[in-house]
A = this chain, B = another copy of it.
């Protein structure tokens, strides 16, 4: 390959890495998602989040290249999707110092081989590690904000014992609800912006209407449950109950099962369970002062994939890059 074609291959791998966070092996979807991240972080006055996303994406992809593991994974963007999430999380929760960037690059690079290791562990049960390499490594690094002066926190909550509710349930109007619903989608990349959520949905629809549909359903059902069960209004209005169910919806509704009425029921059940696991894990993380990240999505999706439930309908054939070990 000449240099130009190499660069084009690399660019496509990187953009696919963005799309793979939402299970879409498509550079165009990745491009629109990236646009959404840039829009949301610049509009929100935290441009370092967008740059962090890029740095994390590149670092974790380079890590895969240097190690030379599973280059097919690399082409499909499976090296980059954990790294971009690390890159979104670090500038969101840490102060913008040079040591933070060092830590971000170390953590993002690590996710590439941690993913390989976790996937090796899970292979016998035909599940994979999803975004858990990002979740696991970022949890451990975020905890350092409490013990290392060099990594001061920026947006982390204060560790508390959860014993009383901080605020009342909100009474939003219709426009608010649409906004919260779209923010539920944008928070997949830790962005708090309804415009970004809209760009994400458009990006998904470019690659698969089913993906866009299940993302929308996931955020909508979680929002309804959050109102019904009286979740705190700060979390609701920031879309923090939506992002994990969005991913569960895409995972169960169209990625790991072929779309049909049985898998639709299964995905709906998954979305409902994700909501409760999200609420429970919010409480679990309180004494540590760190967020759940996409942990609730990972746990729920595993709980729904591990039974190896067959549904009488044959499973989706094995051509998605996600079915590979």
A residues at B contact (CB < 8 Å): 67, 69, 99, 103, 106-107, 110, 113-114, 116-118, 120-121, 124-125, 139-151, 158-163, 165, 169, 228-232, 269, 272-273, 276-277, 279-284, 286-289, 302-309
Nearest chain B CB to A276 CB, angstrom units: 6
**Which residue of B120, B143, B283 contacts A281 across the interface (Cβ within 8 Å)?**
B143
| 23 A–B pairs (Cβ distance < 8 Å), ordered by A | A67-B309, A107-B276, A110-B273, A114-B307, A116-B308, A117-B304, A118-B306, A120-B306, A142-B280, A143-B281, A144-B276, A147-B279, A147-B282, A147-B283, A148-B229, A149-B165, A149-B230, A150-B229, A158-B163, A159-B162, A159-B163, A159-B287, A162-B289
**Which residue of B99, B161, B269, B279 contacts A143 across the interface (Cβ within 8 Å)?**
B279
Across the interface, do A308 and B120 meet the contact criterion of CB distance under 8 Å?
A: yes
A145–B284 CA distance with the chains assembled, in angstroms: 11
With a cutoff of 8 Å between Cβ atoms, the chain B residues found around residue A99 in the complex are 228-229
Across the interface, do A307 and B120 meet the contact criterion of CB distance under 8 Å?
A: yes
With a cutoff of 8 Å between Cβ atoms, the chain B residues found around residue A161 in the complex are 158-161, 287, 289
Nearest chain B CB to A279 CB, angstrom units: 4
With a cutoff of 8 Å between Cβ atoms, the chain B residues found around residue A309 in the complex are 67, 69, 113, 116
**Copies per complex?**
3
Further contacts, 17 of them, CB under 8 A, given A147-B282, A283-B288, A284-B288? A69-B309, A107-B276, A114-B303, A114-B307, A116-B306, A116-B307, A116-B309, A140-B277, A141-B276, A143-B284, A144-B229, A144-B276, A146-B283, A146-B286, A147-B280, A147-B283, A150-B229
Q: 5 closest pairs, A vs B, by CB?
A: A149-B230, A117-B306, A150-B229, A143-B280, A140-B280
Across the interface, do B289 and A231 meet the contact criterion of CB distance under 8 Å?
A: no
Nearest chain B CB to A5 CB, angstrom units: 26
